[in-house]
Amino acid sequence: MIHYLAKITDWLGRHMFFIVLSALFIGFITPVVDSPALRTVVVGSFAYMTFVTALGTSLKEFLRVLKKPFVPIWILVLIHVASPLIAWLTGFILFPQEPYTRLGYLVGASTPIGVTSVIWTSLAQGNVSIALVAVTLDTFIVPVMLPFFFKIVIGQALQIDYMQMMVQLLLMITIPSILGMALHDYSSGILTPVTKTVTNFISKIAFFIVIFINAAIIGPDITWDLSTLKIVLTTMFLVIGGFMTGFLGSYVFKNRSKETTLAIVYCVGLRNASFGMVLALSFFPPSVAVPITMFMLFQQPFAAVIPYLFRHAAKRGQAS
């Protein structure tokens, strides 16, 4: 039984693209009413996935990265300087007469690192320690940085419950990460192959649930007509541009490894679009939320493609 479960888990790990697409499709066609209980399921699923991911990461390695956080700090520069600038220029050029659409792209590009960046970094066998440190630093920087950013850009200070957001991120990322890494370092013999197989299989199910719930919640907000086609295409290229910004940004480090590059790519490319959508709907007209909704649509499928691209590049390198 465990042998077959291990095979299924391995197959799921190598075909995350299909899992993401199926979760999105089922979510879009399944009406789900947003509720605190549903949000609790999402937070709990994220916390479990983070915990399982951290089981394969050393706490000592995490602390080593934290002591010399050059890569995570560079990730934050790419996220909070380069990405908003690219989004602003794109909106200015393509939507000169649509200020709310431009603002939507700017808000979407200014949101924190998406917590799924840690999960995808792990699935793609990237450096999870770098991703965890980047998310942890961003958790504490955002409450200070975002109000200042919006005050300068839009001329008004937004009253946002950053403490609630910080607590939620601590519950989803920081606490389960520390527990998982501590268990990895100080529990020799407890994590048997059977335990790892079962926990990894359940984490894949949790991943499906998270994407399904988010798709089911945002589905009704998307109007599929010709008027949104330009926004859809622009958002798609901006999402690709986010991953490319991370990839090109990794060239700053001459001795970068594939694992480091993957961590940078996912941290820069995957943003907390859910937070961006809440931000947009709370303080701006509904049209501001449309581009951010599209970010949620495209981020996960493109994240699933990246491991295939890296494997293809590795094969071409070996062939030459």
Torsion of CA 314, 315, 316, 320, to 10 degrees: 100
For the chain, the average pLDDT equals 82
Of the candidates 2, 45, 5, which has an alpha carbon nearest to the alpha carbon of residue 207? Answer: 45
What tens digit of pLDDT does each residue of 202-216 get? 888 888 888 788 778
| pLDDT number for residue 190 | 61
Is the domain defined by 19-218+226-313 classed in CATH 3.40.630.10? no
pTM of the entire structure?
0.78
Of the candidates 316, 311, 312, 320, which has an alpha carbon nearest to the alpha carbon of residue 125? Answer: 311
CA 98, CA 86: separation in Å to the nearest integer? 17
Give the C-alpha distances (Å, rounded to integers) separating 291 from 23, 81, 86: 21, 19, 15
Residue 301: pLDDT band (50, 70, 90) is confident
All structural domains of the chain with their residue ranges: 19-218+226-313
- Between 77 and 198, the more confident residue is 77
Residue 137: pLDDT band (50, 70, 90) is confident
CA 309, CA 313: separation in Å to the nearest integer? 6
Determine whether 45 is exposed, middle or buried from the number of CB atoms within 10 Å of its CB (0-12, 13-18, 19+). Answer: buried
194 contacts: CB under 8 Å, gap ≥ 6: 2
